[in-house]
Amino acid sequence: MTVCRLDKFISSQLNLPRSVCRKLIARGAVTVNGAVLKKPEEKITAETDEVAVGGEAIRYQKHVYIMMNKPKGVLSASTDKTRKTVVDLVPPALFRRTLFPVGRLDRDTTGLLILTDDGDFAHYVISPKSHLKKRYRVLLDAPADASAVKAFRDGITLADGTKCMPAELEISQENPYLVFATIYEGKYHQIKRMFGTLGLGVDELHRVSIGEVSLDENLREGDCRAMKNDEISLIYK
Nearer to ligand URA by C-beta: 69 or 109?
A: 109
Q: How far is CA 1 from the centre of its chain?
A: 25
Q: Which stretch binds ligand URA (CB under 6 A): 52-60, 137-145, 163-171, 184-192?
A: 184-192
CB 67 within 8 A of CB 229: no
Q: At closest approach, how far in Å is the CB of 172 from ligand URA?
A: 19
In terms of CB distance, is 63 or 192 closer to ligand URA?
A: 192
Q: Is residue 93 exposed (0-12), middle (13-18) or buried (19+ Cβ within 10 Å)?
A: exposed
User: At closest approach, how far in Å is the CB of 29 from ligand URA?
Assistant: 45
Rounded to a whole number of angstroms, the minimum distance from the CB of residue 112 to ligand URA is 11
Q: What is the smallest separation between the CB atom of 197 and ligand URA, expressed in angstroms?
A: 12
190 part of the interface to ligand URA, by CB under 6 A: yes
Active site residue 106: yes
User: Distance between CA 67 and CA 221 in Å, rounded?
Assistant: 11
Which span sits near ligand URA by CB under 6 A: 58-66, 82-90, 190-198, 219-227?
A: 190-198
CA dist 190 and 188 (Å) reads: 5
On the CB side of 14, how many CA atoms lie within 13 Å of its CA? 22
Decide: is 192 part of the binding site for ligand URA (CB under 6 A): yes
**Nearest residue (CB) to ligand URA, 8 versus 189:** 189
User: Of the residues 88, 106, 216, 223, which is catalytic?
Assistant: 106
* Region of residue 64 (left: phi > 0; alpha: psi -120 to 50; beta: else): beta
Q: Please pick, from the candidates 191, 200, 215, 227, the single residue that binds ligand URA as defined by CB under 6 A.
A: 191
First and final CA of the chain: distance in angstroms?
Answer: 20
Q: Which residues touch 222 (CB under 8 Å, ≥6 apart)?
A: 68, 69, 70, 71, 74, 89
Q: For the CA atoms of 147, 152, 157, 163, what is the dihedral angle to 10 degrees?
A: -160
- Of 8, 18, 72, 189, the one binding ligand URA by CB under 6 A: 189
Nearest distance in Å: CB 131, ligand URA? 16
Q: Candidates 44-52, 143-151, 172-180, 188-196 — which segment interacts with ligand URA by CB under 6 A?
A: 188-196
**What strand order describes the sheet that includes 30-32?**
35-36, 30-32, 51-53, 56-57
Q: What residues numbered 101-140 form the site for ligand URA, per CB under 6 A?
A: 105-106, 109
Residues that contact ligand URA, how many (by CB under 6 A)? 8
Enumerate the active-site residues: 106
Contacts to ligand URA by CB under 6 A: 105-106, 109, 189-192, 205
